[in-house]
Structures are given as C-alpha cells and as structure tokens.
C-alpha cells in the first residue's frame, strides 16, 4: 500500500495538509512529554521513530532498488537530520515549556523562509511571524534553562535541514519510499541510546501504547503529509505556513500539560496566524 495513493483519495490542498501535520505533531509532543519520567527523552524519541518506521514500512513496503541505492547519501542525511531534530527538541521540552521550545525551534524554518523569499509580499508575512515568535517566547516570567534554549536552537537548525532534505528526497525517490528509508535509518541510529535510556520500561504495555500513539501523531502522520505537500509547494511558503507551530504547541501545552497562556502570548498567536494565512492566501501572487 502506498501512502500517496491513500492521500490521493482525500485531495486536500497542500496548505491544509501542512496545517493537519502541525496539529498532529504538537499534540504528540505534549503526550510524549508526559512520559519523560518513565523513559526519558531519548527513550521516547526511539519509541516514536521506531514505531513510525515499523508502521510506514508495513504500509509502503519500499523497495531497495538501484535507483534508491544511488540516493543513499541523501537518505542517510535525511535520517540523521530526523534523528538530531527529534532528540534535540525532546531534550529542550524536558527543560522548558513546549510553547517556548517550539517558538525557538521555529527560527530554523523562519530563517529559511526569509532566505528563500523572492517576492516583496513574502517579507511582510515573515516579519509578522518573526514579531509573533518574539512575543510568544516569554510564556512564563521565569528564567529559562540555558540548556533547554540551546537544544531548541539545535532543533531549529536541524528543522531547516529537514525541510531542504525532505524536498530533495521527495523529488529523488518515488512515492513515500524516501521517507520510509530515512525513518528506518533514524530508528537504527536511535536504538542504542533509546534502549539505554528507557531500559525495562519498554516491557510495559501501557508505555508502549502511548509510544505508539505518539509515533502516529508526531511522526507518521505529519512527515507523510509534509512530504506530499512539499511536492507541490514552494519551500519558502512551506516555511512560513509552519509558523503555526508555536501556536499549536502552546495550545497543546495548555490542554495536555496545563501550561498557561498570557495575553501577550495570545496576541503573538494572532500575529503568527495572520502571517501563516497571508502566506497561504497569496502564495501565487
């Protein structure tokens, strides 16, 4: 079964696919954080990526063809980017609120969007999103853990690399095969540290169940939708649309973890939403 065939039955516009992927990923991140005390960030990342690799491999049944082998370096780079992006982001949300971590992580695609922009109007949406990011950052009045901030910035860089590599792999390897092999590579890379972090917790059915749900919400669904969207959406537009990430993360943090929002953060959410809507509405203008 091919993920592209499944998606073809529901012909949503690329922008809608990206919005769905954002909500799914941040909800999964909130559920994942609630399990850190049991398995640690590395163990949670391994479950998330490992389950996603198993499910996607079973659905897509990718073939290791000579054409795929020719693009192995791109697949390996994509897998490494996925590994580092997930590890650094989970390490960040262990130390700082999800909304703040997602805001800092968004600097990666935001910077990429600015670099890729060719239309003057694009800079307006990037500017509004940037102001929103700055306002959203201080969700709480307390000092931020410096390591949490640094991990979030590493995740920002890896996210920018993920966007570029996803577009490259999506064009080079047919269907969802590229995504599937990249996630398998990431799962193999994560296995040693994930198992060492969680230990015997992986033997508990309830923990594995939550890990499975997180894998669906945070990996399989969003990565599949984004890879499909990137086939027909400019990278800069994708980057600005992803400005919905801080808003989605703040809402997920509030609903799942009780991380409260301030009036300032609500205003920031409005700015970021406006930037995303503008970029989507005028992407062909």
Residue 107 above 70 pLDDT?
yes
Average of per-residue pLDDT across 8-15: 64
What is the spatial distance between Cα 206 and Cα 201, in angstroms, rounded to a whole number?
10
Q: Which of 224 and 42 is assigned the larger pLDDT? A: 42
CA-angle at 29, arms to 26 and 31, nearest 5°: 115
Predicted confidence at residue 236, as pLDDT, reads 62
Give the highest mean pLDDT range of 87-96, 233-242, 248-257: 87-96
Residue 155 above 90 pLDDT?
yes
Predicted confidence at residue 38, as pLDDT, reads 84
Q: Which of 284 and 126 is assigned the larger pLDDT? A: 126
Average of per-residue pLDDT across 56-71: 75
Q: Which of 194 and 259 is assigned the larger pLDDT? A: 194
What is the spatial distance between Cα 90 and Cα 199, in angstroms, rounded to a whole number?
18
Predicted confidence at residue 22, as pLDDT, reads 87
Q: Which of 218 and 237 is assigned the larger pLDDT? A: 218
Task: Judge residue 257's burial from the number of C-beta atoms within 10 Å of its C-beta, 0-12 exposed, 13-18 middle, 19 or more buried.
Answer: middle
Predicted confidence at residue 84, as pLDDT, reads 93
pTM of the model: 0.79
Task: Express each pLDDT in 179-234 by its tens digit.
Answer: 788 888 999 999 999 998 887 888 888 888 888 988 888 877 887 787 778 777 77
Average of per-residue pLDDT across 21-41: 87
Contact of 176 with 62, CB cutoff 8 Å: yes
Tokens linked to 6: 């499944």
Length of the chain: 285
Predicted confidence at residue 285, as pLDDT, reads 43
Residue 252 above 90 pLDDT?
no
Predicted confidence at residue 1, as pLDDT, reads 43
Tokens linked to 102: 């997602």
Predicted confidence at residue 282, as pLDDT, reads 57
Residue 136 above 70 pLDDT?
no
Confidence at 172, pLDDT banded by 50, 70, 90: confident
Confidence at 81, pLDDT banded by 50, 70, 90: very high
Predicted confidence at residue 142, as pLDDT, reads 52
Task: Express each pLDDT in 108-117 by its tens digit.
Answer: 877 776 676 6
By residue range, what is the domain housing residue 168? 3-281
What total number of domains does the chain contain? 1
For residue 2, CA distances in Å to 61, 63, 84, 186, 218 come to 8, 12, 27, 21, 20
């Amino acid at each position: 079964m091919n993920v592209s065939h499944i998606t073809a039955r529901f012909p949503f516009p690329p922008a809608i696919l990206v919005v769905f992927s954002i909500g799914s990923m941040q909800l999964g991140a909130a559920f994942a954080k609630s399990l850190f005390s049991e398995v640690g960030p590395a163990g949670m990342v391994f479950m998330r990526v490992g389950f996603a690799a198993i499910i996607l491999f079973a659905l897509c049944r990718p073939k290791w063809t000579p054409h795929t082998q020719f693009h192995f370096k791109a697949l390996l780079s994509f897998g490494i980017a996925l590994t580092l992006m997930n590890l650094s982001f989970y390490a960040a949300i262990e130390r700082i609120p999800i909304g703040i971590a997602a805001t800092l992580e968004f600097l990666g695609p935001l910077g990429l969007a600015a670099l890729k922009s060719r239309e003057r109007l694009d800079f307006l949406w990037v500017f509004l999103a940037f102001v929103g990011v700055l306002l959203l950052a201080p969700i709480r009045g307390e000092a931020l853990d410096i390591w949490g901030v640094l991990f979030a910035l590493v995740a920002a860089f890896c996210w920018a690399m993920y966007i570029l590599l996803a577009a490259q792999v999506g064009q080079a390897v047919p269907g969802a095969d590229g995504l599937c092999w990249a996630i398998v590579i990431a799962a193999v890379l994560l296995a040693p540290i994930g198992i060492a972090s969680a230990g015997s917790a992986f033997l508990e059915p309830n923990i594995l169940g939550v890990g499975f749900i997180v894998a669906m919400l945070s990996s399989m669904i969003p990565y599949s939708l984004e890879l499909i969207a990137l086939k027909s959406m400019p990278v800069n537009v994708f980057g600005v649309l992803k400005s919905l990430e801080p808003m989605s993360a703040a809402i997920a943090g509030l609903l799942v973890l009780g991380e409260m929002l301030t009036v300032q953060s609500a205003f920031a959410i409005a700015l970021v939403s406006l930037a995303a809507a503008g970029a989507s509405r005028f992407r062909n203008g």
